[in-house]
A and B are shown apart, each in its own frame.
Chain A
């Protein structure tokens, strides 16, 4: 009886430490989004579409709206391969206003723009006009020319 009690206590300690450790790892390293921002593909995205459109008007930048979902396996790939591509990342960071829409939460926005599945990137100008749509987990070779073109299109206005 004593042996079993001891083993049970050890296992209890073990699972509590695993639980504690993983909980903290997630909070410190794998935060995907909080109230104001989302952290996807190494970029910080705003969660407010209206504020971002306002900001885009002021700074004369295009808006990149990224529709994602936590359960979407292709999104994880898209984030690490495409958004994580250094050139893509640089352009997005410098020349775009970034917004992330969570398909589990921002369903109205998805409906408004006719987005039905993740990943999906929409490019808007400050006046909420859709400039370009990129549905699906495209690779960086496809994505890079699009971000370059949309940026130049807005700049030239």
Chain B
């Protein structure tokens, strides 16, 4: 069935193909027939897709459940904000968001460049081609699918309510996380397209064209990942912000290669021959890994807590990876072989480009480790039908392999940032000393401060090589960290002295980004190594108001416990008060009412009277059978006719159904106070939400106000058998990570705020 939304998508596809044709004619034949129309056409598509997204939003807000997507991801009782965020809760909606943002950026490209240069034109062609491909994907898995296309739905049937949103998605962070991720995915299209054009035709200016887009992608994607981390911390009860879940890892990989690209681009823009293959290849790889991340999120193949699986467009995404991968590889190889041998003297190993190249390689290695760790178990599963784990404990794999390269990266940071050819020898000496200290400190022995937790039950099962790296003392991170910090401060102070505002702001921005790395690393390392955990504390409900000792000097007091419905209780059918007020209005017709059973009364020889109560009133329903047992408080929806001849109206049922009185989203909330040595250290509510698709935990987090202090963190797993199962954690130094994330954003925004230098400067 052709719905309005799909018509818009088809129109967008047709117009964008026409725009591509126009640009190709101009580019290949210098034919201007369609060229004048290209920019308006692209803007029209952007407008159409904007309309399509607003249309989808409208369907969600008004609850048009004749659309399968709306029916699947929304329901009447959801608060407005979750009706809005339902638009990106599933694959079809995220495709629409993705394609919409691609065309917004294409429109921006059209508007700013007017396709005046071959580079702009060709970049636009590739951008549009990718955009068109995504329109096709959106059409295949369209959010505008009518439910009447499903075989079992009779025409004209309108579902009374949607099936609701997954309980895990009902919180603030999940409103922000997906759009950030997908906007970040989409905005990488232009840097990728420009890089491909450059590989193809060696057009100058490609880096400049894609520069702000790459930075924007880096910011948005980074914030998306960070928000995912916050979500994991405040909702999932992981007790940390990073757990190497396949999906969060998958989104981290392109961010790493993009970071690599930005480092390559920084040198490439100063000298066109530097990283003339590495830079565009890193941009291309980033784009490919973004598609890969999209597959990981939705495929259901990857063993993740994110498995909101769906595969019908998976093959098309894999095709896209294969196509873009092959194109990038071939072009990259071609470009590499064409590269003229440099005649200039070989400066030896210690040169700025070589050291920078090591940095790029380190980013590539870190990206590979993450990529490999989530990929090969799936590969083994698909090829051999065997499920394997990457280590005894999944996160150990990533921590073990990433750790040594993180130290190297910090060393490279410290060395590269202030590298000067003239001071080379002195700088080398410092590097060697720090590297030596790093190696020595690896062997320091402490109680718990190792790459892998020796007290964990998983430790004994790890293979020798993991135990070897796992025995490295984490103290070894500090020499390189201090070295890097000193270098960043020196770099920053150099820029502070400058008078040119633009250069100054940019330099400080770059310094802030690098300081952010240090902050985030400290937060991650301290919090994951020094978190205190006490699991399975069972607080009896009777102990309300009493401070109970839970061990290790900690005490917990349950101040209050309550259960409520997150959304209002709804009773399908006519309100009972309306029926009672005017029984004649329904006489001779059938009427549907709902209510909870509040009374049952067997009448010998006649059946059983059951009293149903809703919010407005109560009413008796007569059942034919005498020996039925219906539990009190059970919700019933009854359709029937009113029997005449009674003082009060009595309903004779034709059809009876149970309904869930509790509402779709049931929230258990426990108010707690946490004490350490009889001193109150935290208080708040830990909550447990039950609803569609499982449950969500909302731990109590009483954040520490100092940098190193511990957040008081209590997870509540839902009441069972009169006791409240709790897990107490004291998580130190998380504030470092949050500050780091904010600094990342502040730094890159400062860099972006400085307009690119006027052309022709180099």
- Partner pick for A19 among B354, B372, B385, CB 8 A cutoff: B372
B contact residues around A102 at 8 Å (CB)? 387
A18 touches B372 (CB 8 A): yes
A1 touches B342 (CB 8 A): yes
B387 touches A32 (CB 8 A): yes
Q: Does B357 contact A (CB under 8 A)?
A: yes
In B261-306, which residues have CB < 8 Å from any A CB? Answer: 300, 303-305
Q: Chain B residue with minimal CB distance to A1?
A: B342
Instruction: Tell me the minimal C-beta distance from A124 to chain B in angstroms.
Output: 22
B694 touches A104 (CB 8 A): no
B contact residues around A25 at 8 Å (CB)? 391, 463, 465
Pick out which of these stretches binds chain A: B62-70, B363-371, B549-557, B701-709. B363-371
Number of A residues near B (Cβ < 8 Å) is 40
Instruction: Tell me the minimal C-beta distance from B284 to chain A in angstroms.
Output: 17
Q: Does B243 contact A (CB under 8 A)?
A: yes
A26 touches B245 (CB 8 A): no
Residue interface bits B520-544, CB-to-A below 8 A is 1, else 0: 0000000000000000100000000
- Partner pick for B458 among A1, A22, A23, A76, CB 8 A cutoff: A76
- Partner pick for B341 among A1, A33, A73, CB 8 A cutoff: A1
- Partner pick for A18 among B348, B380, B401, CB 8 A cutoff: B401
In B343-389, which residues have CB < 8 Å from any A CB? Answer: 346, 348-349, 353-354, 357-358, 361, 364-365, 368-369, 372-373, 376-377, 380, 384-389
A26 touches B376 (CB 8 A): yes
CA distance A86 to B357 in the complex (A): 52
CA distance A29 to B391 in the complex (A): 8
Q: Does B390 contact A (CB under 8 A)?
A: yes
B354 touches A3 (CB 8 A): yes
Q: Chain A residue with minimal CB distance to B456?
A: A80
Q: Chain B residue with minimal CB distance to A34?
A: B386
CA distance A70 to B720 in the complex (A): 25
CA distance A69 to B342 in the complex (A): 55
Q: Does A81 contact B (CB under 8 A)?
A: yes
- Partner pick for A26 among B353, B377, B694, CB 8 A cutoff: B377
Instruction: Tell me the minimal C-beta distance from B464 to chain A in angstroms.
Output: 10
Q: Chain B residue with minimal CB distance to A18?
A: B401
Q: Does B246 contact A (CB under 8 A)?
A: yes
A contact residues around B536 at 8 Å (CB)? 139
Instruction: Tell me the minimal C-beta distance from B391 to chain A in angstroms.
Output: 7
In A80-129, which residues have CB < 8 Å from any B CB? Answer: 80-81, 84, 102, 104, 116-117
A22 touches B303 (CB 8 A): no
In A1-21, which residues have CB < 8 Å from any B CB? Answer: 1-4, 7-8, 11, 14-15, 18-19, 21
CA distance A86 to B717 in the complex (A): 27
A27 touches B387 (CB 8 A): no
CA distance A11 to B385 in the complex (A): 31
A73 touches B238 (CB 8 A): yes
A14 with B365, Cβ < 8 A, contacts A3-B354, A30-B390 known = yes
Residue interface bits B601-626, CB-to-A below 8 A is 1, else 0: 00000000000000000000000000
B contact residues around A31 at 8 Å (CB)? 386-388
A30 touches B391 (CB 8 A): yes
B contact residues around A34 at 8 Å (CB)? 384-387
A contact residues around B358 at 8 Å (CB)? 7
A contact residues around B341 at 8 Å (CB)? 1
Q: Select the residue from A21, A22, A31, A69 with max chain B CB neighbours within 10 A.
A: A22
Q: Does B457 contact A (CB under 8 A)?
A: yes
B458 touches A80 (CB 8 A): yes
Q: Does B548 contact A (CB under 8 A)?
A: no
CA distance A69 to B361 in the complex (A): 35
Q: Does A35 contact B (CB under 8 A)?
A: yes
B361 touches A7 (CB 8 A): yes
Instruction: Tell me the minimal C-beta distance from B55 to chain A in angstroms.
Output: 34
CA distance A29 to B364 in the complex (A): 28
A26 touches B354 (CB 8 A): no
A70 touches B393 (CB 8 A): no
- Partner pick for B387 among A21, A70, A77, CB 8 A cutoff: A70
A30 touches B365 (CB 8 A): no
Q: Does B175 contact A (CB under 8 A)?
A: no
Instruction: Tell me the minimal C-beta distance from A79 to chain B in angstroms.
Output: 9
- Partner pick for B393 among A7, A71, A76, CB 8 A cutoff: A76
Q: Does A136 contact B (CB under 8 A)?
A: yes
B346 touches A4 (CB 8 A): no
B contact residues around A69 at 8 Å (CB)? 303
A contact residues around B246 at 8 Å (CB)? 71
Given A3-B354, A70-B303, output 7 extra A-B contacts at Cβ < 8 Å.
A21-B465, A26-B388, A32-B387, A32-B389, A70-B387, A76-B394, A80-B461
Q: B residues engaging A (CB < 8 A)?
A: 238, 243, 245-246, 300, 303-305, 307, 341-342, 346, 348-349, 353-354, 357-358, 361, 364-365, 368-369, 372-373, 376-377, 380, 384-394, 397, 401, 457-458, 461, 463, 465, 536, 694-695, 717, 720
The 7 closest A-B CB pairs, nearest first, are A70-B303, A30-B389, A80-B457, A26-B388, A71-B303, A32-B387, A33-B387
Q: List 28 A-B contacts (CB under 8 A).
A: A7-B354, A7-B358, A15-B368, A18-B401, A19-B372, A22-B373, A23-B376, A23-B380, A25-B463, A26-B376, A26-B380, A27-B380, A29-B461, A29-B463, A30-B392, A31-B386, A31-B387, A31-B388, A33-B387, A70-B387, A71-B245, A73-B243, A73-B305, A76-B458, A80-B458, A84-B457, A104-B300, A117-B694
